A and B are shown apart, each in its own frame.
Chain A
């Protein structure tokens, strides 16, 4: 007796299901209800609210001195500050320091501190805190270790003054002290001593930055709150990591969202205000999405590193053959897709880093020539043994580069085997030359020749690079005095890499983040959430 109603009911269910299905397939960008004008005028700053930021991974620690990880840096520099810091043009400017003086030989630096800078625990920054932080930096930071080799003695002169005595002139001291990677962040002396060579635990995350650490639910969120006693500098035009910093938000919430699609969907629906690390493949789609703005910034470059400790790549000719065999333009176009996200430049630093960039010394950077590759290979010691390209399959980019490189290398006579690993396994296998001949990997932006991990002499990360010329050049970098000398050394460094080919640079990379169009934001490098606000 129910038969009459049954079939319409089933039809209804089926049609409902298909509507859901179709809705799911349709282009989400056509939703007109949320249409907003793009690049809305900045308007008056709004001093309130919570900024919700979706970050792609949970940091291992927020100790910005301890690790060079990008995610640590991006959270850390809201909490901590350095004595000197990079401005928007990547030049060194004072931050916690008021200024400095050197003697004529450049072996004694007298640094004066600003006297009103407060830590988040209420105490005022004194020279003792700086000395203790400096001591810890020399021990736990790779950059600090290098600078530390030149430091003979650090002395407190008064509460706001200290003196660093060097054993020989070292002109990159200030640059190293302002490097935003394993940075010389200033923390209270007792914390620096207590932590020693261990990473800071959450209770020890006390800095001088515009935001202070509140809580960290691992795997879920990191919460920072505005530091009301923050002593801002006055320079409004410095930008970067120094000058005036104003914390407009009451709270800064970093939410750990691993799935890239969720980061995009969350931003579209207003769940997040800012989301990092978005695939450039989505560029066109996102550009036309009404409530989303794109944020792009430089992010280092991709490389191919040779294992130079054994055959075949201990032979320069084989390395040169490989350089001629690779068509980097094809590789980059296929890997990064949109031209906005890669550029070709053979220098060790990127052009935006004006103080570190030299545009000379890399004539072999784009030397694609298959015939030449073949003849070089012929004349080399290479005898057809298979070479292993190792890469991490966590990164789509380096996977693509490896795959295309394999094809191009085989065209000139190399035998190639691809060896992908998950990141942790890959890092471990990297340490043993028996495991690989070539590694394809990217390097985040570096701020000093001392930080170029792919050129660290005798290390696994550089493929056991051994070069007197490079060592001399790095030593000379320590004593350059004028801008001209600097450029000279930088050109020379480019030239050494060009001639000795310890690694191949593929292309400069640009990273894509996205933000809500309600946020007024100024892109530089990484994400900085001071001097930015949310318009209502």
Chain B
């Protein structure tokens, strides 16, 4: 297990290297120049050239790449073109909001998806099953931005229960934190609940007619216990995979939701940096997201062994 973990962690290195090369290429091949953006439309050619020199943008691109790579290896992600703040500091200050909203969304997803899926399997022979399928399909198909607008209009403007936007850090009071995050977290969750519930239901339906389930029932165990103990736990592996990918995706920042609710998280950081051509920040954020993907997937793989004792990594 330990050996496996180390091997997987080492595989991070080539992945990150490939990601960094691709990101650097894409970012620098995109037209646009931060010097023009900073100085505005009526800047003189001299002042643009001078600023480019200050920012190191006048060097050949290969030189810029190796300079950057050299710093990355030593753990230095560089400085923002705009604020001259360290990219590390900038990422650290944006991870909190994204982490909060992800955490809450996952909590809502599990809170709703698990009971709903269990209920659907329990009532699998009734009319509830096709209704469950349609509703979950509807959930998956709802466009996030539309649902967010609807919720804001309904529960923030017309009936002002929740704030329309904004983010309060946890440190400034847990209630305000939660209060501001409920709507965005719910929107993020709504799209995923259907998916997770469907995965769970399908996994359970497969297990529900297996020999071991029938044996359990034949022993006279109550249906609810059979469902929880024998059916549910066997459906967890595919669901864990889906949730893993979901967490990684959410931690990378939900651009639309963060913009609509003005949450200063990773998603809005990324989109702002792209508009500003803040190269070091874009590169840093994407590397960070790539690392999260790899690490979350590793955690999910390790979780398999815990969920299913038959799985061994030695």
Contact = CB atoms under 8 A, between A and B. Distances in A.
Interface of A: 3, 6, 10, 20-21, 23-26, 28, 31, 58, 60-61, 67-69, 142, 197-198, 201, 217-220, 255-259, 261-262, 265-266, 268-269, 271, 421-425, 427-431, 441, 453-454, 456, 459-461
Contact of B150 (A20, A197, A459): A20
Interface in B249-266: 259-262, 264
A259 B260 CA distance: 6
A255 B153 contact: no
Contact of B41 (A6, A28, A31, A441): A441
Interface residues of B, number: 57
Given A219-B272, A266-B164, A24 B262 contact: no
Interface string B2-44: 0000000000000000000000000000111110111111111
Contact of A67 (B38, B166, B264): B38
A84 to B, nearest CB: 23
A26 B158 contact: yes
Given A26-B158, A431-B36, A142 B44 contact: yes
A424 B157 contact: no
Main secondary structure of the interface of B (DSSP, over half): helix
A265 B131 contact: no
Interface of B: 30-34, 36-45, 47, 50, 54, 82-85, 90, 93-94, 126-128, 131, 149-160, 163-167, 259-262, 264, 268-269, 272, 275-277
A201 B151 CA distance: 40
Which 7 residue pairs spanning A and B have beta carbons closest together?
A453-B42, A424-B32, A220-B264, A427-B36, A265-B164, A24-B153, A425-B31
B41 A453 contact: yes
B33 A23 contact: no
Contact of A261 (B45, B149, B268, B272): B149
A68 B40 contact: yes
Contact of A198 (B43, B54, B261): B54
Given A24-B154, A268-B157, A424-B275, A459 B42 contact: yes
Nearest to B166: A271
A219 B84 contact: no
B276 A60 contact: yes
10 contacts: A6-B126, A24-B158, A67-B38, A68-B42, A219-B269, A259-B259, A427-B37, A428-B32, A429-B31, A461-B41
Contact of B85 (A26, A218, A428, A431): A218
Contact of A427 (B33, B83, B151, B152): B33
A199 to B, nearest CB: 8
A255 B156 CA distance: 18
B223 to A, nearest CB: 13
A428 B36 contact: yes
A430 B32 CA distance: 10
A217 B94 CA distance: 10
Residue in B151, B166, B277 whose Cβ sees the most chain A Cβ within 10 Å: B166
B297 to A, nearest CB: 29
Nearest to A10: B131
Given A201-B84, A218-B90, A425-B31, 7 more contacts: A20-B155, A60-B82, A69-B40, A219-B264, A219-B269, A271-B164, A454-B42
A269 B259 contact: no
A409 to B, nearest CB: 23
A357 B231 CA distance: 82
Contacts of B151: 24
Nearest to B36: A427
Given A24-B153, A68-B40, A265-B156, A61 B82 contact: yes
Nearest to B42: A453
Given A427-B37, A441-B41, A23 B154 contact: yes
A23 B37 contact: no
Contact of A259 (B126, B128, B262): B262
Contacts of A60: 37-38, 82, 276
Given A218-B85, A424-B33, A265 B152 contact: yes
A287 to B, nearest CB: 18
A359 B31 CA distance: 42
B50 A21 contact: no
Contacts of B50: 197
Contacts of B157: 28, 265, 268-269
A271 B163 contact: yes
Contacts of A142: 42-44, 47
Contacts of A23: 153-154, 158-159
Nearest to A198: B54
B164 A269 contact: yes
A271 B165 contact: yes
Residue in A25, A259, A427 whose Cβ sees the most chain B Cβ within 10 Å: A427
Given A23-B154, A60-B276, A218-B83, A257 B262 contact: yes
A21 B165 contact: no
Contacts of B167: 220
Contacts of A258: 259, 262, 268
Contacts of A67: 38-40
Contacts of A218: 83, 85, 90, 93
B235 to A, nearest CB: 23
B272 A58 contact: yes
B106 to A, nearest CB: 24
Contact of A424 (B39, B261, B277): B277
A272 B30 CA distance: 36
A266 B264 contact: no
Given A68-B42, A459-B42, A459-B44, A424 B159 contact: no
